[in-house]
Amino acid sequence: MTVNNLVEKMSLEVLNLSDGEKTVTGGYTGDLLSWVMSRASAGDAWITIMSNINIIAVASLCDVSCIILAENAEAEQSVVSLAAEKKINLLRSEKSSFALSCELGRLL
């Protein structure tokens, strides 16, 4: 499954889509950045409510396929701009982290 597929099937809002063909191989849900950094795997779709600029560094370090901001978490323009610069797919949904995790699990 690709990030483009996730956007369509999960009705996600695109904040930045640098590589929609990036493969999604799993998922990780978490908000504690140090915890995510040590546990998320390359190819995961990372679901979080965290929206500060540090999520881009963590996503890049872990090589996740995308970040999905749950519960319509607001991302400042600086975060969206850095996501574009670092080629990190940044998406958003009004759904809860739990609902997104369940939906992602069914799709994968």
The band of 16, judged by pLDDT with boundaries at 50, 70 and 90, is very high
The pTM of this model reads 0.97
pLDDT in tens, 42-93: 999 999 999 999 999 999 999 999 999 999 999 999 999 999 999 999 999 9
CATH of 3-107, one of 3.40.50.1000, 3.90.1150.10, 3.40.1390.20, 3.90.870.10: 3.40.1390.20
Contact between 68 and 89 under an 8 Å Cβ cutoff? The reply is no
> What is the model's pLDDT at position 22?
98
Q: What is the pLDDT of residue 27?
A: 98
Q: Is 23 helix (H, G, I), strand (E, B) or coil?
A: strand
Mean pLDDT of all residues in 12-23: 98
The answer to whether 25 and 2 have CB atoms below 8 angstroms apart is no
pLDDT at 53: 97
Query: C-alpha dihedral over 74, 79, 83, 89, to 10 degrees?
Result: -10
Give me the residue spans of the domains in the chain.
Answer: 3-107
Q: Which residues are bridge partners to 46 per DSSP?
A: 28, 67
